[in-house]
Structure 1
Amino acid sequence: MGALIFDFDGVIADSEAIANAVLAETVTALGHSTTLDQALARYSGRRWSEAVAEIEAAIGRPLPSDFSKKLKCTTLERFRTDLKEVRGAANFIRRFSHIPRCIASSSSIDRLQLCLSVLALEAEFVDRVFSADMVQRGKPHPDIFLLAADRLGVPAKECLVIEDSAGGIEAAVAAGMTAVGLCAASHIRAGHHLKLKNAGAVHLADSWFDVERFAVEFFGR
């Protein structure tokens, strides 16, 4: 039967634009004017340690020791009021409820649980939410996807991964899985399709409807 493995931010939750808007506001408050587009270009898809180093270089001094903690709290508060799904995500999840599925995300478990609650999707992924905190190496390494396949009891080659980032696509390919690149969230900018294609996506989708057509074919093989 196979399995569906979903990334979360930018795939199910339209959260990347919100998170980067908060980051842009925070960096601006530190004295380095930053727009949403600049935050997306400079920090999105990077390891957090790399983003911190770039912010420190931009402002010319070390960040406060509580910077990451305060940023996370502010971001979660914004999610509580502003977070929406990537249009069509919930319908797709329920359309394929007969297929084993899980979330495999770089986000922390507490962030994932909060966002699932806001989106009223907790019941769709009971005990099937996996975070990079659970593995030694995050994306673009395959560890999180291999963990997910193992927990689902499905061979990697039978898993369909839905991702919105090049690093996530690379991780899925490294795990021996089929990867779809979804470009439907509000943070997607020009050139993103090519990044996902170059990373190894076998199909590029501009909507969950596009993903559905591919998934029907994939699971009907």
Structure 2
Amino acid sequence: MRYDAVIFDFDGVIADSEALANLVLAEHVTRVGVPTTLEDAYTRYMGRRWPEVVATIEEALGQPLPPNFSEALMIATLKRFESDLQEISGATSFIRQLGALPKCIASSSPSERLSLCLQVLGLSNDFLGTVFSADMVKLGKPHPDIFLLAAEHLDVRPAQCLVVEDSVSGVRAAKAAGMTVFGLTAGSHIRSGHAERLLDAGADDVAASWEEVSILLSDC
């Protein structure tokens, strides 16, 4: 491998969590009075920052959300992860094939959520001290801050880092950091045309599975 480190996004890359999280969100938004399907949640909320999501829900509702909405949603989401979370097929195998190569997670998810999900997936020991969350930086994706923080902690030049991302904002952030980016479209939340959107955002290549990522790397 010609890269000195691999940086993983988490949701939709290692954990097949986007569908679960959006399903819980749809259930909670429906309960407060805005009927919402899983597909609605993907269309209206996925990939947006939480304040924007809240504002969109409140606009549709015509009034402020209950004060405990965000906390109740987080608790319900973590419970669903504990019972139902699965990895993106092949993720663990790929991670462990890297051996001693420096690796980390750079995710927009809160640290608490990342810690729980890694525990559920049995990957906590694979990323000891190398989990970076957007709550550690001033600006989240699509800004490059979290990827630059990760590279600094790994003591690797950004140009020598490979990032694996499933979101447009993540691809843009990694490219802004000066890194190579592979888009991954293996998550159950991925919809038609997403590979093209990742390429348009600047992805250097796109893979539909972790097996395809391995093939791309073998060609480097």
TM-score range, shorter chain: over 0.9
List per-residue Cα deviations over 1:62-119 (Å, max 9, x = no partner).
Answer: 1111111110000000000000000000000011123110000011111000000000
1:99 aligns with 2:113: no
Aligned equivalents of 1:68, 1:197: Cα separation in 2: 33
Report the equivalent of 2:55: 53
Q: State the one-letter code of the partner of 1:127.
A: G
Aligned equivalents of 1:75, 1:200: Cα separation in 2: 31
Report the equivalent of 1:178: 180
Aligned equivalents of 1:127, 1:91: Cα separation in 2: 20
Percent same amino acid at aligned positions? 58
Aligned equivalents of 2:42, 2:18: Cα separation in 1: 8
List per-residue Cα deviations over 1:3-39 (Å, max 9, x = no partner).
Answer: 0000000000000000000000011111111110110
Which 5+ residue runs of structure 1 have no aligned equivalent?
none
Aligned equivalents of 2:200, 2:62: Cα separation in 1: 35
Report the equivalent of 1:23: 25
List per-residue Cα deviations over 1:163-197 (Å, max 9, x = no partner).
Answer: 00000000000000000100001000112111111
1:71 aligns with 2:73: yes
Q: Secondary structure at the match of 1:4?
A: strand
Q: Structure 1 residue aligned with 2:154, among 152, 155, 167?
A: 152
Q: CA RMSD in A?
A: 0.8
Q: Structure 2 residue aligned with 1:39, among 38, 41, 47?
A: 41
Moved over 6 A (4+): none
TM-score, normalized by length of structure 1? 0.97
Report the equivalent of 1:161: 163
Displacement of 1:55 after TM fit?
A: 0.5
Aligned equivalents of 1:50, 1:56: Cα separation in 2: 10
Q: State the one-letter code of the partner of 1:47.
A: R
Q: Structure 1 residue aligned with 2:120, among 112, 118, 121?
A: 118
Higher mean C-alpha deviation, range 58-67 or range 108-117? 58-67
Aligned equivalents of 1:157, 1:103: Cα separation in 2: 17
Q: State the one-letter code of the partner of 1:73.
A: I
Q: State the one-letter code of the partner of 1:78.
A: R
Aligned equivalents of 1:18, 1:97: Cα separation in 2: 30
Aligned equivalents of 1:203, 1:66: Cα separation in 2: 42
Report the equivalent of 1:195: 197
Q: State the one-letter code of the partner of 1:164.
A: D
Displacement of 1:134 after TM fit?
A: 0.6
List per-residue Cα deviations over 1:117-168 (Å, max 9, x = no partner).
Answer: 0000011001000101111100000000000000000000000000000000
What is the total number of aligned residue pairs between the two structures?
A: 218
TM-score, normalized by length of structure 2? 0.97
Q: Secondary structure at the match of 2:190?
A: coil
List per-residue Cα deviations over 1:190-210 (Å, max 9, x = no partner).
Answer: 121111111100111100001
